[in-house]
A and B are shown apart, each in its own frame.
Chain A
Amino acid sequence: AQSVTQLDSHVSVSEGTPVLLRCNYSSSYSPSLFWYVQHPNKGLQLLLKYTSAATLVKGINGFEAEFKKSETSFHLTKPSAHMSDAAEYFCVVSDRANDYKLSFGAGTTVTVRA
């Protein structure tokens, strides 16, 4: 069965410094991978997605992620954090074993210090 592990439940960074959110996945098939962001009491917004094309995926708001099959990882990065990046981030996997339904990680809360 597919699954996702987000390695950090909470990440704190200073404004202007890089952000790294780590995600490892498990899938028996060629997976699709996504990162979503959720601001407090809001719905989820898609940041970026990997669906078997380029392994380095660029998303909105300066985020990018790299699919590394050998490491079964899909880490999310941003070179310079902004105060508005404070939110919860979810790594998500989907494959045909689960009829392409999404499986969510537990989430990583990002705090940005001024």
Chain B
Amino acid sequence: SQTIHQWPATLVQPVGSPLSLECTVEGTSNPNLYWYRQAAGRGLQLLFYSVGIGQISSEVPQNLSASRPQDRQFILSSKKLLLSDSGFYLCAWSRNRGRNYGYTFGSGTRLTVV
């Protein structure tokens, strides 16, 4: 069966510090991968998605970047965090680009920038 791992679960970082959140998927190959952010009291915002190694699409301009160095690894990064980067970050995967059968989400990372 497929599983998705996301870490760390919680993170407190000072403004201006770097960020690296990692997500890995097991039990499947060539998944589509996604990073979402959920700010307090708001819905989910798609930040990045990837349909293959090295292929990253950005949905919104921001202080963050994403990379996919391996087929089942997706990394969210920042060189210098802003207070506005605080939120709940969720990684997700789906099978392919065709008819969508839903995403499977990781357990999330609560990021607090202080």
Does A12 sit at the interface, judged by CB under 8 A? Answer: no
Enumerate chain A residues within 8 angstroms of B98, measured Cβ to Cβ.
100
Whole-angstrom distance between the Cβ of A8 and the nearest chain B Cβ? 14
Q: Quick check: is B100 within 8 A (CB to CB) of the other chain?
A: yes
Quote the shortest CB–CB distance from B38 to chain A (angstroms).
Answer: 8
Residues in A whose Cβ lies below 8 Å from that of B97: 99-100
Instruction: For the complex formed, measure the closest distance between the CB of A95 and the CB atoms of chain B, giving whole angstroms.
Output: 8
Contact of B44 among A32, A34, A90 (CB under 8 A): A90
- Decide if A11 is an interface residue (CB 8 Å cutoff): no
Complex CA–CA separation, A106 to B49 (angstroms) = 20
Contacts A94-B100, A100-B99 given; does A43 touch B105 at CB 8 Å: yes
- Known contacts A106-B43, A107-B43, A43 near B99 by CB under 8 Å: no
Q: Which of A42, A46, A102 has the most CB of B within 10 A?
A: A102
The interface bits of chain A over 67-105 (1 if a CB of B lies within 8 angstroms of the residue's CB, else 0) are 000000000000000000000001000100001111011
Q: B43 and A104: CB pair below 8 A?
A: yes
Chain A positions within 8 Å of B110 at CB level: 41
Contact of A43 among B42, B46, B108 (CB under 8 A): B108
Q: State in angstroms the CA–CA spacing of A97 and B76 once bound together.
A: 26
Shortest C-beta distance, B2 to chain A (Å), equals 13
> Which 9 A-B pairs rank lowest in CB-CB distance, beginning with the nearest?
A100-B100, A43-B105, A94-B100, A44-B105, A43-B107, A104-B44, A106-B43, A104-B43, A43-B108
Binding site for B on A (CB under 8 A): 32, 34, 36, 41-46, 49, 51, 90, 94, 99-102, 104-107
